[in-house]
Every structure is written in structure tokens, then in C-alpha cells.
Amino acid sequence: MGRIEAVLFASATPVSREALQNVVGQGASVDLLIEDLRVDLAGRAFEISSVADAWMMRTRSQFAEAIRAAADLGDQGMEFTPYEMAVLATIAYHQPISRAQLKEVFGKDINRDLIGRLYAKDLIATGPRSPKRGAPYTYVTTQGFLLAFDLQSLRDLPDMEQLQDAGLAESR
């Protein structure tokens, strides 16, 4: 369990089951060790989060304000305009999606600077080439997207009914 804790603590990105299995050996159950570690960390400032079929150690959200006040985190802001959030959500819900498809949704071409900011924040990446004429590139969300929005997988995205109930989407 200590080996898993050390690896998760030292890693800046989620660690896969395979990597953890290599650390503890094939005879050990990674899932049981992760659960034991979660129990040990109960009530502490850190927790084990599952992200995209991997694990990472994170500070619990209730300590975010204290960290921001005391630590030099640089510019890690994830503030978005409503339009930027709409573009990101559209990519998340409709991926893989091309620029032309985004243009159809929004009725205008998507600013390349906006796409560049989403790339720079590691929220989107280039997806598979579209089967349409000219084989345009598509966009998909990344593991960084899952991390930023505290999702284990894209299945954790709210469904359209939840968004409508929250007043974040229009009923059709």
C-alpha cells in the first residue's frame, strides 16, 4: 500500500492500473490496495480519485481556498466565458467533432485562439480524421478535461435533462 501511495503522491498525472500492478507485483490486488489507502486517508487533506481508469492523489476540494491563498500556483485558472464553456461542452458531448460541425452548431466559425486556449489547458486534443471530404481533423476531450471537471469518464457528464433542470440548456 505504501508503494502505491508513494507513486500516486509523486505523479502529476493519473497512474494506470498496469503501472500500479508493476509496482506491487502481479499477486497483489490493486483495487483492494486502493480501497485500503482510501480508508487510511479518510478525514485527511488528501484523497484518491479515479480518473479515466487510472488513479491519482488529490487535495480535497474543501482545502482549495487555503492552497490558493498560500501556494504559488502560477496561472492555472480555468475560468471560461459562457461562449468558451459552450464550445467545450459541445466538443465533450459530440466528440469527435470537426470545426465545420462546430460552425453548424454555433452559426459561426469558431475562433482559432479559443481552440488554442483549450489545447493549451490540455482540455481538448486532435481526434480522428473525419470521414468527410478532405478528411478534416476533429476535436476530442482529454484526460486533462476529466481532471479539470472531476469526472471519472465521459459517462459522468450530466445528461440533457439534468442540464435543462439546472437552467443550463434550453428545452427543445
Q: What is the pLDDT of residues 64-90, one digit of tens each?
A: 778 777 766 555 566 788 888 889 999
Q: Which of 37, 70, 103 marks a domain boundary?
A: 70
With 0.75 as the threshold, say if the pTM is over it: no
**Domain extent at residue 19:** 2-70
Of the given ranges (19-28, 98-107, 143-152), which has the lowest mean pLDDT? 143-152
DSSP 26: T
| Sheet architecture: strand order including 138-141 | 97-98, 138-141, 124-126
Q: pLDDT band for 151, please (50, 70, 90 cuts).
A: confident
In a domain, 100, yes or no: yes
Inside any domain, residue 117: yes
